[in-house]
Structure 1
Amino acid sequence: MLRVIVLGAAAGGGIPQWNCGCKICRAAREMPALQGSQASIAVTVDNEHWFLINASPDLRQQLIANPPLHPKAGQLRHSPIAGVILTNGEVDAVAGLLSMREGSPFTLYAHPRVLAILQANSIFNVLAEKNVHRQSLAIDQGFEPTLPNGAPSGLAVLPFAVPGKGAWYLEGHAHPGGTDDDGDTLGLRIEDRATGQYFFFVAACARVTPELQQRLHGAPLVLFDGTVWHDNELIDAGLGVKTGQRMGHLAMSGPDGAIAMLADSDIAQKVFLHINNSNPALLPHSPQRAKVQQAGWQIGHDGMEITP
């Protein structure tokens, strides 16, 4: 049976951010229920081997907080993590890989453009090839991740391109993966091959195209980009100079936002994740949260477990 754990649901920096005194971060320091680590999920079909979707900078604490991801009792060195699948090359998707350098074998799956970023930064060489095999994935070509012993995992994963942008830290620099930007931002369709259960993971998305609407239509579960409530949110709050679009994220609200664009998609469970500390929908009694819930969406949170 397909099982999904939300390890973290916050955008880059988490909630509260270390240096932020905004309304939400102040509240989160007083209310642990508002706190959140950076977005990542874990998926399994056998409750023994798990695959991470993105490796956030908070990965170590996320693994500690989720007993299914602990080493097996009685073994000196062990991890149930069989692989990591990256959907982009942003810091909040790849930095957690550096916490996985202690010698347990796993496979790292990513688009060649993201693998090129890792290859260009020698710090990721701590993930020695003898333990961590890097395998490229291709857009719209399904694959089955394997277990450390080479056996099939029972998962079917289909990567697909979504509107987005390259990692912000590469702006103004040559991309190690070349000039073609296809592959910088991916969504995933993840299926249990035995039962046919499936869900979609789209942690970054700049706009909902007709193609994406059609792809997500009728899905039992969609985990979707909820970075900002409205496009100018960070600017209006004095927290930044970039719009959501400028960062490669569409808003929850508005006529072109996620809520409106996916309103008629007949999705059974709709969950927002990658939610920024500026987003008022994080506050349980806010009018924005009420609108999210009225539209049939949930606000993801750390430790949330979902079965599609």
Structure 2
Amino acid sequence: MYLRVLGSAAGGGFPQWNCNCPNCDGLRRGTVRAQARTQSSIALSANGIDWLLVNASPDILTQIRQTPLLQPARAIRDSGIAAVLLMDAQIDHVTGLLMLRESKAALPLLATPEVIADVSEGFPITRILSHYCGVQLHPLSCNAADIQVPGVDGLELTVVSLSSKPPPYSPFRECPRPGDNIGLIAHAGPGTPRLFYAPGLAEVTPQLHALMAECDIVLVDGTFWTADEMQQLGLSHKSAFDTGHLPQSGAGGMIEHLQRLPQRTRKLLIHINNTNPILNEDSAERALLQKLGIEVACDGMEIVF
């Protein structure tokens, strides 16, 4: 199985276009040792040829240019992207669909009914695309297993319902439903290594922890270091929890949950906000992650499992 990290930042990317926080300002000035990042997305394949795009970020065209495997040039119009799966309906995970409108056939689009409703009504991307390439909808049921992806042979998925929040434009923003946000377990069949992927995660329940513990690779929400990160910088009045994210530090934080996983589990963070000190490779927070064996995903990272 092949995994390619196309983008590893939260919404806005890193540096964010209008932000002068210590990380963004430091990266621009060259005073902070860090890597620029596009908005989060990954691609999965069982054969390295046909790929499932998981979330379509606004940076998708840049990400495709930086990933030759996604442009194999087998025909005058071609793509290695065989299907797209949406984990949620957040702006930074769905806007890239508009950039794929030149597809020569309707895009196979996998998402829960809740996400399909949001991108059909509140942010009507599917209706817009109906005037271009169109989409071929494949509704996903929460907690469904052994899902086959059209056009991506050998890849099997399990959908996991997660606690988080739908996007601010959704009428269900303050009353989330199962299906607004999902995690994925991906593998190549029985007995093969398993990946757990969840770029947006507000709570790790005992049931979810048990599922994560069965996986060989865990790639999860790394948005904020502290719950009040944005508040402390004067950038927002909302906490990490208000926006549907579990911070890494503190009691019950993501680090604590990752440390409880088996030692053999490879642990990585993705969807990292531009304010998070772990982006600074010389920070104490980054050093702590390294000491604990927790990796920080970066654009272009490749994992074979």
TM value normalised by structure 1: 0.91
Quick one: which of 140, 143, 150 aligns to 1:140? 143
Report how many residues are paired: 297
SS in 2 for 1:157: strand
Gaps spanning 5+ residues in structure 2: where?
none
- The DSSP-based 3-state class of the residue aligned with 2:27 is helix
- The change in CA–CA distance for 1:294 and 1:104 in structure 2 (over 3 A counts) is farther
Task: Assess if the C-alpha contact under 8 Å between 1:9 and 1:301 holds in 2.
Answer: yes
The alignment yields a C-alpha RMSD, in angstroms, of 1.9
**Which residue of structure 2 aligns with residue 93 of structure 1?**
93
2:148 is aligned with what amino acid?
Answer: E
Q: Distance in 1 between matches of 2:197 and 2:168?
A: 21
* 1:160 aligned partner: 160
Measure the CA separation in 1 of the matches of 2:202 and 2:283: 25
Q: Is the 8 A contact 1:71 1:77 kept in 2?
A: no
Whether the 8 Å contact between 1:141 and 1:158 is mirrored in structure 2 is yes
| Aligned with 1:271 (options 268, 284, 295) | 268
Q: Structure 1: 5+ residue runs without aligned partners? A: none
Q: Among all aligned residue pairs of Structure 1 and Structure 2, give the percentage whose two residues are the same amino acid.
A: 35
- CA positional deviation for 1:76: 1.2
| 1:1-308 matched pairs, under 5 angstroms | 2-31=1-30, 33-73=34-74, 75-105=75-105, 106-120=107-121, 121-128=123-130, 131-142=134-145, 143-147=147-151, 153-170=153-170, 174-175=171-172, 181-193=177-189, 196-266=192-262, 268-308=265-305
Shift of 1:141: 0.9
Distance 1:277 1:130 in 2: 34
Distance 1:94 1:199 in 2: 22
Give the deviation of 1:220 after TM superposition: 1.1
**Could you tell me whether the CA contact under 8 Å between 1:255 and 1:261 is conserved in 2?**
no
In structure 2, distance between residues paired with 1:282 and 1:196: 32
Give the AA of the match of 1:19.
N
**Which amino acid in the other structure matches residue 72 of structure 1?**
A
Aligned-pair CA distance for 1:299: 0.6
User: Is contact 1:86-1:94 (8 Å) kept?
Assistant: yes
Shift of 1:28: 2.2
Length-normalised TM-score, structure 2: 0.92
What letter is aligned with 1:11? A
Q: Work out the CA distance in 1 between the residues paired with 2:9 and 2:77.
A: 30
The 2-side partners of 1:71 and 1:117 are apart by 32
